[in-house]
Amino acid sequence: MRNRIAGALYGMALGDAMGMPAELWAKERARRFFRKKIDRFLDGPKENEVAFNYKYGQFTDDTGQALVLLDSIASTDYVPDVRDIAQRMIAWAEKENAWENNILGPTSKIALANFRDGIEDTRPTDKALSNGSAMRIPPIGCLFTPDQKQELVNYVYGVSRATHTSDVTIAGAAMIAMGVSSAIVNDDFEQVIEDILGIEEMGYQKGCESYSPRLAERTKIGLQLAKQFADDEDTFTQKIYDIVGTGVCIIESVPAAVSVAYYTQDPNRACLMCANLGGDTDTIGAMASAICGAFKGADSIRPEYIETLQKQNDTDFDAYIEILLKGREKLK
């Protein structure tokens, strides 16, 4: 169990850090700039208005905010507290100069600024279409077993509602959390996919109604592409980019991440595929590699990757693994 949970956490950080240099760049721009596929940790280019803040092997706001969630739930005895989460998010954002450095996503930027300034306005969170809820959710999946579907959805909503309360953003986050939850205990990835698709409707029922394509339907397109181009990785990734989409909208990034996880079923391969995907590479990488890490375990991740993540980030990974193990026991 510890190996699988550690795999989810390290996998998330791995996909995040590997995808950081090309974050929010179009696929061809990234290809021209790096001249070949990204095949290792790289510094954030000074030309990238988001990634320039980071050095090689450093994870971004995706993993950073996930750790904020874990700090919060550990301090509140695993009961989600929206005020505590928001305050910790704001403290993290101020420490990271997140507003000035354009690190925050579009919805989180508005929601946290409103909370900071004492403005009560749920319209930005109720209408959210961005992927902030899903990008930081993977470790939450470690707290639940796949048969705790309603408990997982309720918890996802509880830790997300400071910034995201729309149906699509809760459903998308629930799908990623369930992917991790299922991958921890299953050795058949078809079952992982069944669990991911099976929780979507419950997520939609929890959030405020929005207009957006359905996540499960978009994900099924990506899964079909994975099967159709199982022996042609370049065509598969191009089709994901062209058809499913790889942008910051949750309707694109969650199906893309699930599709890559299904295609690779390996965190080492997933992190590199996502890094070269184009679009929101760090977020898609964080979600896909977290699911794959949970599926394969931390001992499947290349040791040099883990060593770099430990060296380049001021993070006690073992302490967060313990938080997740304790929470899983408490919430079962």
Please report, in range form, the residues annotated as the binding site for Mg(2+): 60-62, 280, 282-283
Please report, in range form, the residues annotated as the binding site: 60-62, 280, 282-283
Name the most confidently modeled range: 95-99, 102-106, 264-268. 264-268
pLDDT greater at residue 174 or residue 111? 174
pLDDT at 87: 96
pLDDT digits (tens, 9 = 90+) for 101-111: 778 888 888 88
**Per-residue pLDDT averaged across 201-205, rounded?**
97
**Per-residue pLDDT averaged across 170-192, rounded?**
98
pLDDT digits (tens, 9 = 90+) for 212-222: 999 999 999 99
Q: Please state, rounded to an integer, the average pLDDT across all residues of the chain.
A: 96
**Per-residue pLDDT averaged across 230-256, rounded?**
98
For 77, 152, 160, 198, 236, the CA distances from 80, given in Å and listed in that order, are: 9, 12, 9, 24, 39
Give the least confident one: 116-120, 149-153, 223-227. 116-120
pLDDT at 18: 98
Architecture category of domain 2-331 in CATH: Orthogonal Bundle (1.10)
182 pLDDT exceeds 80?
Answer: yes
Sequence ranges of the domains in the chain: 2-331
